[in-house]
Chain A
Amino acid sequence: MSVRVGVVVFPGTNCEHDTLAALERAGATATLVWHSEERLEGLDAVVLPGGFAHGDYLRPGALARFSPVMGVVARFAAAGGPVLGICNGFQVLTEAGLLPGALVKNRGLRFLCAPARLRVTSARSVLTCDVEEGTELEIPVNHFSGSYVCDARTLAELRDAERVVLRYVENPNGSIDDIAGVTNAQGNVVGLMPHPERASHALLGSTDGMPLLRALVRAAAGVHAA
């Protein structure tokens, strides 16, 4: 039985179809989950895709964290279920307290859509578990508020526990410690600003997002087996 991944759609989300297609390329059966859902039955993993949930009003993710689906996403995560937040999804996860830190406006105060070189700096997460540390990947970023910040103590914790899973080779947005993606203490909740689904097909110029998405699907299969 194939792995079933739910892709959460808030009003204003716009990467749901892209993410769904890339997950299917990675071997999953993906379905869209409307933000008012309060049950996640039969899902092996949940992805919060990119976009502008609730218009990014107030600040990115600040309203989305109150959508009904977030309660069940939190319980799913607490139970060890793999949860991935991409871009706006990462912002939502930090606002919801499922990941530490916050994402603030880019250095330079401009939107940035460009390819970014990333380095896998920890394999201790559901997103990077199949990728060797030190591997370089080219995956586009597409954000206005992508500069990761956290306090010194959190940063030390993240570093010590090898929870910074992806770093920029050339920092495009001013993120502290070049952080592009982090995970929670258990490694089952991951957020990253780059869009792996945009590097999922040779026609798009890069397939470097696929090892990450395949790792997520495989991790979800483990949950499934359990």
Chain B
Amino acid sequence: MSVPASVEEPQPEALTRTEPQPQPQALTRPEPQPQALTRPQAQPQSQGLQHDPQLLHRSLGLTDEELGRIVRILGRHPNELELALYGVMWSEHCSYKSSRLHLRRLPTTGDRVLVGPGENAAVIDAGDGIAVAIRIESHNHPSAIEPHQGAATGVGGILRDIFAMGARPLAVMDPLFFGPLDDARQRWLVEGVVSGVSSYGNSVGVPTVGGELTFDPCYGGNPLVNVLCIGALPVERLVLGRASGTGNLAVLLGATTGRDGIGGVSVLASAGFGGGGEGGGGEGGGHDAKRPNVQVGDPFEEKRLIEACLALLDAGLVVGIQDLGGAGLACATSEIAARGGVGMDIDVSAVPRREPGMAAWEVMTSESQERMLAIVTPETWPAVEELCRRWEVRASVIGTVTDDAPHDVLEAATQGSGPFKISGRLRIREGDVVVGDVPASSLADDAPMYDRPIRAPAGLVKHRADDPTASEGRGDCAADLLAMLRDPSWIYRQYDHQLFLNTVVGPGGDAALLRLAGPGVPPSERGVAVTTDSAPRWCAIDPRMGVALVLAEAIANLACVGAVPAAVVDCLNFGNPEHPEVMWQLSETVDGLADACRALELPVIGGNVSLYNESTGEDILPTPVLGVVGLVERLRHRPPPVALPEGSSVVLLGSRRAAGDRPYPLGGSRWAVECRGRRHGVLPTLDYEAHLRLTGFVGSLVAGTVAGGETAVERDRPLDRLLDGVHDVSGGGLAVALAEMALAGGVGCHVAGVQGHKELFTELPSRILLTTTRSDELCSRAAASGVPAEVIGVAGGDRFFVDELVDISIVELARAWEGSLATRMTTRLERA
């Protein structure tokens, strides 16, 4: 990770000031009685965790071995509060204990990377003094239980990660995965998740510019709700989540703290669902019991929090800042202290509550939304208070930065018996009484790392041999095509996708293309493109090749809007890591992604791992979701649309056949899986060199179109009108790609020479469709760049016609397209 020199340490004067500081009384009280900590029996009576003391750790999600590790770190038995802190911080969700070992294999560095994995969000340098922050997260389990609030707080959480870096959140994308819609519960989930994203995202004022929608029975009991956010900032405003400066104040900003969301990361996010989720509109037993663990969001609070935090950063009033998400104050205080290598003294009685009678452990682990922790110098505190008052944002000093090292750990380490890193101590008080005292980094960094057993699934060889390419007959190509069409506009019309006047290509395009602009962002003509992609049906067959193909598709999507890929973030959604087959999927995915990133020269700068996505013992398909951000040097014109303009030629770029005995592989294709129920076989392979030639060629053609000319006269119109339309070939193959182009403009086509249903539906990678009126020129330029190109048809008319395979009217196509989602989700009221 590299940090620009402009991120300054606090001024030394701030550290040596001795005048009285505006701290709450509790923080200046004398040292507490250490007895309370060394006698595990002397538990505070008010803690309220009513469990057998010997088994408490288990109910908090910790194993006996993990308790032993905590005892070794502390040199004593932890009290209830401390145990609760370790319970949330060492949860799978917070500590990545099953995946960390594998994630290390990903390449994370690159020329543009300013901040890599480990901070609130990753940051790249976009040029012209602008940095782009990006992060991807999952909110799967909360959304399974309470879809509206689960999805809403997923949006809220990721926004805080972005503005914690000093970036203005500019766009959100939402990859969603559900079970088939013929089940009423799934419709309830879709309705709830979409309304949650819509109500929170729209109201908080961040456009949702794209996403993905996948249906598969494996998500029936455990839907996936991922969310990606990008933001932009002037490079010099970049700020990190680290505390520094002894005597500086820890200030809690935003909402009051309640009992909502306690144990969200451990009990909820880091365990699977036992009970079923079946039944019309209701919810199953496993879900109901966990409902209190879901947080509730308030977008208006978040909107004011964003404005206040960005104003604080603009005014240079903040030393470090950190969001409160999973594991609440426990996570924020320990991470910000551990990153800064300092200690922290927190008084839970100074935390504004939304309900009476909360115990210290509840305050520390509450996941109440819309809160941030800022480190400010005592001198600037009055200015911070004043600014927060203007934005109607609550600001409370809840602690101070200290340079205390935990003595007992220090002792253990100097005696050579402690394997643990020494850091500052996180001391938690409740007024006078110290109720917890642990090394901050032991919470943030010293969670166990598991090398869980890995085993390839039984029947792997048999499954690969069960390939549908040769054995499945042609059938009715038109019917198969119609079955695969899906218009996602029912979803994205509910999202504000235009705020900030940046959205040049919004939802429904290959990738979202935005002007790189926003309040507080230095002016430029640059653009930024983002895409999220996944293909669980590929990853189920071969996670290693599957994820590489997903990355290839993402890069092709970016090329279609003229963007050069810059960095990758990944959201790794998998089943139960205690199943060796799931760990095999995870490990293969990491290796596949690492190989593909190296071949395509892209760093993975951030990510998220979501495990225990299972229901009644059934794991979901391996579902890595990749977010790839690309940059456009100069964005003055709209890129060619996904369209078939009347009279233009349809040109297919890229190799039409694979080498070897399967020229048109169908293993893992939507056609095989969705139309024929064939989930096994062999995936196509990827030729990285050929893929880079193709995406480089298309990317630069489109980039030329969006840039326009150099001179003032040329500037107002695109210089290169070679392209009329562009669309990449992906899920559903040539058939779906052509149909989507036809639907976008309501214009048909006549395509010839397609080699049967296999070429029509194969998902062979590295192919892009272009439309042009100058096909000779296009083909010769492609040839000069080493990219195969062939005219396969002509656009026009009101029929979708592929010689000998499909002949249907555009009207029929449109009916299937529009009907797939909207008709099933639309209320009677809307149809009226």
Contacts and interface: CB of A to CB of B under 8 A. Distances in A.
Interface of A: 11-12, 14-15, 17-18, 21-22, 51-52, 54-57, 107-114, 140, 142, 144, 195, 197-198, 200-205
A112 B493 contact: yes
B308 to A, nearest CB: 10
A200 B503 CA distance: 12
A203 B492 CA distance: 20
15 contacts: A11-B304, A12-B304, A17-B518, A18-B501, A55-B303, A57-B300, A109-B827, A109-B830, A110-B195, A111-B202, A111-B493, A112-B494, A142-B202, A203-B504, A204-B501
A17 to B, nearest CB: 5
B494 A22 contact: no
B391 A11 contact: yes
Nearest to A16: B519
Contacts of A111: 198-199, 202, 493-496
A14 B493 contact: no
Interface stretch (B329-337, B455-463, B634-642, B774-782): B634-642
Contacts of B637: 202-203
B829 A11 contact: no
B496 to A, nearest CB: 5
A108 B198 contact: no
Nearest to A51: B205
B607 interface: no
Interface in B615-648: 635-638
B501 A142 contact: no
A165 B774 CA distance: 45
A204 B503 contact: yes
Nearest to A205: B638
A189 B669 CA distance: 57
A63 to B, nearest CB: 10
Contact of B827 (A57, A108, A144): A108
Rank and list the top 9 A-B pairs by shortest CB-CB distance, nearest first.
A55-B300, A14-B205, A108-B830, A52-B203, A111-B494, A17-B519, A18-B501, A111-B198, A113-B496
Nearest to A114: B493
A11 B304 CA distance: 7
Contacts of A14: 204-205, 303, 499
Contact of B500 (A18, A109, A140): A18
Contacts of B804: none
A108 B829 contact: yes
B528 to A, nearest CB: 14
B499 A52 contact: no
B199 A107 contact: no
B494 A113 contact: yes
Given A51-B205, A108-B830, A12 B504 contact: no
Contacts of A114: 493
Contacts of A202: 637-638
Nearest to A34: B390
B451 interface: no
Contacts of A18: 499-501
Residue among B203, B519, B636, B638 with the highest chain A CB neighbour number at 10 A: B203
Given A22-B501, A200-B501, A11 B494 contact: no
A204 to B, nearest CB: 6
A11 B392 contact: yes
Contact of B300 (A12, A21, A22, A140): A12
B515 interface: yes
B299 interface: yes
Nearest to B515: A203
A110 B635 contact: no
Contacts of B496: 111, 113, 142
Contact of A11 (B198, B199, B298, B300): B300
Contacts of B391: 11
A52 B300 CA distance: 8
B349 interface: no
Given A52-B300, A111-B202, A198 B498 contact: yes
A203 B830 contact: no
A48 B552 CA distance: 45
A52 B304 CA distance: 11
A85 to B, nearest CB: 18
Nearest to B489: A114
Interface residues on B, range: 35 or more
Interface of B: 195, 198-199, 202-205, 298-300, 303-304, 307, 391-392, 492-501, 503-504, 515, 518-519, 635-638, 826-827, 829-830
Contact of A113 (B203, B498, B636, B827): B498
Contacts of B493: 110-114
A203 B203 CA distance: 25
Nearest to A36: B390
B303 A11 contact: yes
Given A52-B303, A55-B203, A113-B495, A17 B500 contact: yes
Contacts of B307: 11
Given A55-B203, A203-B638, A110 B830 contact: yes
Contacts of A198: 498, 501
Contacts of B298: 55
B636 A203 contact: yes
A111 B827 CA distance: 14
B504 A204 contact: yes
Contacts of A51: 205
Nearest to A204: B501
Given A107-B830, A110-B493, A198-B498, 16 more contacts: A11-B307, A11-B392, A12-B203, A12-B300, A12-B304, A22-B501, A52-B203, A55-B298, A57-B300, A108-B826, A110-B494, A111-B494, A195-B498, A202-B637, A203-B636, A204-B498
Contact of A107 (B195, B392, B500, B829): B829
Contact of B499 (A15, A21, A109): A15
B173 to A, nearest CB: 15
A191 B435 CA distance: 57
Nearest to B504: A203
Contacts of A22: 501
B501 A21 contact: yes
B501 A201 contact: yes
Contacts of A195: 498
B411 to A, nearest CB: 51
Contacts of B495: 111, 113
Contacts of A55: 203, 298-300, 303
A14 to B, nearest CB: 3
Given A108-B829, A203-B504, A204-B504, A140 B303 contact: no
B494 A203 contact: no
A160 B638 CA distance: 43
A11 to B, nearest CB: 5
Nearest to A112: B493
Contacts of A17: 500, 518-519
Contacts of A109: 827, 829-830
Contacts of A15: 499
A94 B826 CA distance: 30
A76 B497 CA distance: 34
B713 to A, nearest CB: 16
Nearest to B308: A11
Nearest to B202: A111
A197 B501 contact: yes
A91 B300 CA distance: 17
Contacts of B204: 14
Which of B391, B492, B501 has the most chain A CB within a 10 Å cutoff?
B501
A107 B504 CA distance: 28
Contacts of A12: 203, 300, 303-304
Which of A22, A54, A111, A204 has the largest number of chain B CB atoms within 10 A?
A: A111
Nearest to B716: A202
B672 to A, nearest CB: 35
B198 A140 contact: no
B187 to A, nearest CB: 14
Given A55-B299, A111-B202, A140 B827 contact: no
B388 to A, nearest CB: 12
Nearest to B391: A11
